[in-house]
Amino acid sequence: MTPPLDELLGNSHVLSLPMRTKFRGITTREVMLFRGPAGWGEFSPFTEYDDQESSAWLRAGIEAAWDGPPAPYRERVRVNATVPAVTADEVPAILARYPGVDTAKVKVAEKGQTLADDIARVRAVRALVPRVRVDANGGWTVEQAVAALTALIEDGPLEYAEQPCASVPELVEVRTRLPGVRIAADESIRRAEDPLRVVRAGGADVAVLKVAPLGGMRALLELAGELGEYGVPVVVSSALDSAVGIASGLAAAAAIPKLEFACGLGTGSLFVSDVCPSQEMVDGTLAGGAVEPDPARLAALAAPADRVEWWHDRVRRCHPLVKPAK
């Protein structure tokens, strides 16, 4: 059941989280948090997303705050480091924020950069972390993807290449032409009418799942089960969430019976400041469990009044579009 609009807005905070490095084209991440009977939820679709797509994010936040997490299989979740599209000499400082990790996801195909930049960045990561995966966010054509991935594996294997191209047919072609590189689908699942289409078409070896875009922890678990029937393992990842959203990601990952890959839930280190102190990473893992935002941080990170009203208006539009949980 969707809670009343005034109850959502009356217990909400709109925050502006400064980032250490530009990531996904932004240097400040805006999020709305709200408190419900089961704890805290987050609503933070990226500003360019339309109301229909954003309503799934609202549903996910409501689930966290009103229903709470599913039962876990494990207490801690193995996570990967996330390396933005920085220069190679900046890589060691970024990886130092992820003690004990054995896997790193490296952003590639950044606008304004070259393949040489990507190769240098990946090479710098390889020198420090044994397992490397890359994420192009759909930024390559098929020919660019084949050329880039062929160059990137000259120094060693990739665990997988995430969303090298934007469309499902392109992913199928890249996967066919590069049988030695596993392909992971992200946008082709979370932004698709039919999230299983890319798998049925033969375009993915791995599925990257995110709680908020899929409409909640339980929706993610249901999709993970369906993907498992196709033999496709999943990686639970962050949608550049605050600590509240990360808690939902960790809860979902902890509730998956078999978790083969490190999850992309260590992105809290990308923020200069978050809504609560950073959780200690132990041997490359993070613990599940509820988080409680610090009131002083909520006040210090509060967004300007005009942005608060912008987010409130967004919730007013999305609220009627929230689909009930199955």
- Rg from Cα positions in the chain: 19
The one catalytic residue among 22, 105, 111, 210: 210
Six-digit token pair at 326? Answer: 């199955």
| Closest listed residue to residue 168, CA positions, set 138, 134, 208 | 138
Is the C-alpha dihedral spanning 270, 207, 137, 57 positive or negative?
negative
Residues 6+ apart with CB under 8 A from 304: 16
The one catalytic residue among 22, 105, 107, 326: 107
HSE (side-chain half, CA atoms, 13 Å) at 216:
23
Number of helices (H) and strands (E) in the chain: give both, helices first: 13, 12
* 22 is annotated as an active-site residue: no
Is the C-alpha dihedral spanning 94, 20, 214, 160 positive or negative?
negative
Residues 6+ apart with CB under 8 A from 150: 178
Rounded CA gap, 183 and 234, in Å?
A: 12
Rounded CA gap, 61 and 55, in Å?
A: 10
For strands 131-135 and 12-23, give the pairing: unpaired
What phi and psi values does residue 266 have, to the nearest 5 degrees?
A: -100, 25
Rounded CA gap, 285 and 211, in Å?
A: 19
* 107 is annotated as an active-site residue: yes
| Closest listed residue to residue 102, CA positions, set 75, 133, 124 | 133
Do the Cβ atoms of 247 and 270 come closer than 8 Å?
no
> Please, what's the b/e burial string for 297-311 (b: 16 or more CB within 10 A of its CB; e: otherwise)?
beeebebeeebbeeb
Rounded CA gap, 271 and 242, in Å?
A: 9
Q: Which residues are catalytic?
A: 107, 210
